[in-house]
Amino acid sequence: MTSRGTPSRFLQSVLQNGVGRYVCQLKRLSIIFSKNAQSSLGIREFIEEGVVDYAKNNPSTVVYVSPQSCRIPKIVAEYLNGNVREEIVTSKTSTQISEVITKLTNQSGLDIIRLRKPFHTDNPSIQGQWHPFTNRPPSIGPIRPQKQDA
Amino acid sequence: MLRFRRSASRLQENFNLEALKKAFINPCYLQAEQERRRALGVDSEAAALALKDNIQLSEKGAGFTKSFLTDWCRVNFPSLRSEGVESVVAHLTSSPVVSYVARNLGIEDLTMSAECPVPDDVLHSTFMAVIGALEESSGVEQTGVFLRDFLATQLIGKDLFDMWTVVDPMGLLVEELTQRNLPLPEPRLVRAAGASTVLPLYFVGLYSDKKLLAQGPGETLVAAEEEAARVALRKLYGYTENRRPFDFSPLQPHQKQLIQAVSSS
């Protein structure tokens, strides 16, 4: 499939975030892991070491730690605009999990799809849209088809 | 409880948590809850709801929002007519804009409403109640900054005439010019191209005292004249696309001290 067929959006932020003040868009973070499975070794380590510091550094995020009997530990992030993202962290080390959580914290929660351009503006042109008379001195007469011999 | 505290720290405001909790209780929720208890056969006196609704807070917040945004618009667009200011404020405090802001600030989750999903008008009154609670707990100045950061930013990228429906821009322009003691605008055809084709283009310029006020394009002469009048009005009101951006920078500490000094003396 060509890139034209895939869904796309413009570069944007939620509610012009950061123009006035920055609001962390991550609302809720649930860490789901098993108490004794091999695959959640790294996440248990992270919970012992880093999760309290994380909650202290991010006072706007609610962190839930829920031990369940599961084989696949995961991190569920809920954003202010209602989007939910799940990250599976099977057999990841504590530092890798910390990176995943930092990434989830910094995201805006908008859909992760193709961006049409890496920049966006609400005012595309300061001097106005181009029209046939742009930069045309008024002394020249009306626009005509070009002469063949010229 | 934790969620309220987190929500307050997310918005970087110091809320009185009791007031904030009260702000989220809508009258429709109280009614529904009482009816539910009655249906369950609970004695209404034995299990009376010890909750108060947010009507007062909401009214207070709505009044403050309106007055603050009006002042803010007057400061940013000193030459804008009062009808224009009113329609800009009405746009910013309208239900779609406010409920959009409230949804993206996570207020919907905390709202206690009879219906789910929360209807727009309930969300609107809840957001206003939150503003009322903020005014009670951190004062007028901080609430003003909050409104500026979250509601006034919705004005970015908006055109004046999207918010303010002017049916006859030429009449308004004539009125404005007579108020300023300027000669009346004189429309002249400045440029034309393809007049005999299906895609004609006319440029009409408006001259006042032999000076070009504005020029605007259009497919017919009438449309071009109207567009030119709109361009001229935007220039007069200082709401052009290339205006200086709004100032959303946080209050500087020395400004805060100045305000405190003024308010204490």
Q: Output helix, strand, coil percentages for chain A, rounded to the nearest 5.
A: 25, 20, 55
A118/chain B closest Cα distance in angstroms = 19
B61 and B80 housed in the same domain: yes
Q: Give the CA dihedral B160, B165, B168, B173, nearest 10 degrees.
A: -30
Check which CATH number belongs to the domain holding B195 and give it: 3.30.160.20
- B247 falls within a domain: no
List the one residue out of A102, A46, A32, A37 whose CA is nearest residue A74. A32
B235 at interface of A, judged by CB pairs closer than 8 A? no
B207 and B93 housed in the same domain: no
B39 and B22 housed in the same domain: yes
Residue type, position B61, single letter: G
Task: Kindly state the tokens that stand for B183.
Answer: 């000669």
- B108 falls within a domain: yes
Task: Kindly state the tokens that stand for B4.
Answer: 């309220």
Question: B193, A142: Cβ pair inside 8 Å?
Answer: yes
B208/chain A closest Cα distance in angstroms = 19
Residue range of the domain that includes B220: 166-237
B48 and B144 housed in the same domain: yes
Is residue B63 helix, strand or coil? helix
Enumerate the residues of chain A whose CB falls inside 8 A of the CB of residue B10.
23-24, 27, 59-60
pTM above 0.80, yes or no: yes
Enumerate the residues of chain A whose CB falls inside 8 A of the CB of residue B101.
15
B41 and B58 housed in the same domain: yes
For residues B87 and B99, give the distance between their C-alpha atoms in angstroms, rounded to a whole number: 18
Check which CATH number belongs to the domain holding B19 and give it: 1.10.1520.10
Q: How many domains does chain B have?
A: 2
Q: Along the 150 residues of chain A, how does pLDDT read in single tens digits? A: 677 888 999 998 888 888 888 888 998 999 999 999 999 999 999 999 989 999 999 988 999 999 999 899 999 999 988 899 999 999 999 999 999 999 999 999 898 999 999 998 877 777 777 877 888 876 766 666 666 654
Residue type, position B48, single letter: A
**Residues sharing a CB contact under 8 Å with residue B139, sequence separation 6 or more, in sequence order:** none
Residue-wise pLDDT for B44-74, tens only, equals 665 566 677 888 899 999 999 999 999 999 9
Phi first, then psi, for residue B83 (nearest 5°) are -65, -40
B219 and B143 housed in the same domain: no
Phi first, then psi, for residue A74 (nearest 5°) are -145, 165
